Structure formats: structure tokens, C-alpha cells
Structure 1
Amino acid sequence: MTAEKPTPTGATPGFPLTTGRTKGYQRKAVDAFLARARASFEGRGDGPRITAADVRTVSFPLVKHGYVIASVDAALGRVEDAFAGRARGDAISTGTGNIWVAQSRASAQTILDRVSLPRGGRFRRVVWPKRGYRIDEVDVVVDKLAAYFADGRPVTVEQVRSVAFRRQRRGYNEAQVDDMLDTAVDVILALG
């Protein structure tokens, strides 16, 4: 992979650029995705319509002199919120709001079923000697989500998006945890 050259003097990049040895998201890939997302949101694009889930799961190559990751991730969070809001509005305006609510309830129930399992046993564990997410850290986040879904205690989408776990041997299966967190984001966004 080749490093991107710094922006020429006088040019203004869309996001701050990394310096030194720190890598960031490849500018060309970020700019192309955001242009495609904008076209999709505005209803002018040739390809398939982009969804909030597409925005959440997009990934970019890491390069020297790329965009600062945190800045791009924050912008992607706002873009995801816009797409989720549009989907919710579309469901209400087309009379499929009941389906939207039913799907959100089913997703919330799936999360509640998962979080009702005992601490330390909420997700599959990876086999020795592989590493997965730290069980105690995941369980703390899951407890907060349980309080949100069961009792309405405040949790923001940003808190769920920004969660990061250390790794341990025989930890929780990362894909399962990530899937549950994605579902939680979907439900929180659906509730608006």
C-alpha cells in the first residue's frame, strides 16, 4: 500500500490529516464513500441505496498522511444518524411504521434475551489460545444496555459506537458482541 502525499499548500482537506508515523483513513476512499452516501441520501445515485448499517460497517485502508480516524468516525456517526432518521421517516410516511416498530421491538427483545444470561456466559467464548473481548468489560456494557432497554436508563448511540474492549484468552467471540452492539445501535436510532 502506498502512502498518500500531504495536501498541497493552500488546499483544504475534508478532515484533519495525520502526521508523523500515525496512520489515518485513506483520503480517496473516504471522499468517494461520502460522495456516494450523499448522492444516495439525495436520491441521485446509480448504485444500491445506502443504509445506516452500510455507513456503520464501512471500512477504509490505513495510510500515512490519511484523515484522522476519530474525525472521520464522528462524521460517519452523523451520516448514520441521518440515514436512520430518513428510514424511520420513510416507514412512517409510507404507512409501514407498525412494521418498523415491530422490528425494533423484536431486536430489543433479542438484546434483552442475551443480556438476561448470567455474566460470563452471555456470548460464545473463543477457543484456547485465541483471544476475544474481555468478558468483564463486555458484561459492564451489556448491563448498561440492559438497563436502557428494560428501565429506560440513558444510553446514547455515541456511547455504544465508541465502546472498545481489551482482549483476553478465551474471551467473548468478537463477532457476536459486535453484532449485538450493531443491533443496539439500530434500535436506539429507530427509537429516535
Structure 2
Amino acid sequence: MTAAETVAAAATFPRAVGRSKGYDVAAVDEFLARARGAFEGTASPLTAADVRSIAFPLVRHGYVVDAVDNALSRIEDAFAAREREHALSAAGARAWVGRVKQTGQTVLDRLSRPRGQRFDRVGPLHYGYRVDEVDLVADKLARYLERGDAVTVDQVRSVAFRMQRGGYRELQVDAVLDAVVEVMLAVR
């Protein structure tokens, strides 16, 4: 399904029932209309990173989160493929591969740091991502980047960490996960 088809199918998202919360319908519909316009060239441009970073408020009777997230993954994939095509035609395959390798190496350098020292920590009174859980995922992603061990884009997109006092700074970890997704989509 193309990004435009996914956006057009938005009206078919199921709604959360009972006390369950889902994504705010108006916010999702607005973003999907914007994404469709961007994909068709009738609205301001969006990137795969824009799609990956979108967040919606949770409300009662909103769209079921998993259904919207799955659609957003397909839309992100479509935008990433388009970006890859444009970059290849504009700069050539060598420049594209060089950029992807550089991003991959930067991420690998970060993930190869010693356990417990891969990211900045929040203060001891603040909550951040659990260090042991992030380090476990970081080891797996480093093996993917170094040796090509099996990891899927969806696994990286869906990773979640519990919180701990003095944990890793969330923004840094999330930025590295986004960069891994970017590399994975670039080499598809």
C-alpha cells in the first residue's frame, strides 16, 4: 500500500472502546491529510524523519494506537524510499552510500562504547531509560551494524524501555534509534 493509499484508508481506523485511549482523531486525520498532500506534491514537504517523530495526544475513543502506528510505518517507508530515489538521482549512488555509511559508523561508534557509558545520564533524582535495557538493545544493534545480524525496522521502531532514576537521557537514546531506522530504510 502506498503512502497515499494508507492516508486515504485512515477513515477505516478502528476506535478505542470502553476506557481505552487512542490517538486523537482530529490530530491523526490532520497529519494524514498533510502527509497525503506532501506525498502528492500539493502541500509543504515532509520527510521520513518527520513521519517518524510525529506524536498524537491520547484521548478516549480515539483511533487504536497500533492501527495508526502501523499505517505511519508504511508512510515512513514510502517517504524514505522517495528520499532515497531523489538522493540517488541528485548525488549518485556513491554519495548516497557514503552518507549512509557515515551515519551507520557514527551510530556504531556510539553503540560500541562501554556498557553504562553509551549515553548521558539524567540526574539521580530524575528518571531516564533503564541503562541495562538500553545497553542490551545497543549490543544487538551494534551486531546488526557490524555483522549484519538479523534485526528488523519494526523491532527498532517498537522498542520500549522502562524508566529508572539516573537512567540514560531519553532524547539521546531516541535520536540514535531514529538514526538506526534511517540507516535501515536507506539500505532496503
Per the TM superposition, whether the score is higher than 0.5 is: yes
Shift of 1:115: 1.4
Shift of 1:32: 1.4
SS at match of 1:129: coil
- Determine whether 1:111 maps to 2:107: yes
- How much identity, in percent, do the aligned residues show? 56
77-86 or 100-109, larger mean C-alpha shift: 100-109
CA distance in structure 2 between the partners assigned to 1:102 and 1:190 by the alignment: 11
SS at match of 1:168: strand
Aligned residues: 179
Structure 2 residue corresponding to 1:38, chosen from 32, 36, 39: 36
What is aligned with 1:163?
159
Letter in 2 for 1:106: Q
- Determine whether 1:94 maps to 2:90: yes
Letter in 1 for 2:184: I
- Determine whether 1:28 maps to 2:17: no
Structure 1 residue corresponding to 2:65, chosen from 69, 72, 81: 69
Structure 1, residues 130-186: CA drift from partner, whole Å, max 9, x if none? 111011110111011101100011111100000000011111111110010000000
SS at match of 1:63: strand
Shift of 1:38: 1.2
What is aligned with 2:186?
190
What is aligned with 2:12?
14
Gaps of 5+ in 1: 1-11
Structure that is richer in helix per residue: 2
The structure with the larger Rg is 1
Gaps of 5+ in 2: 1-9
32-41 or 72-81, larger mean C-alpha shift: 32-41
What is aligned with 1:60?
56
CA distance in structure 1 between the partners assigned to 2:38 and 2:133 by the alignment: 37
SS at match of 1:59: coil
CA distance in structure 2 between the partners assigned to 1:97 and 1:32 by the alignment: 35
Length-normalised TM-score, structure 2: 0.91
SS at match of 2:118: coil
Length-normalised TM-score, structure 1: 0.89
Cα RMSD of the aligned pairs, angstroms, is 1.3
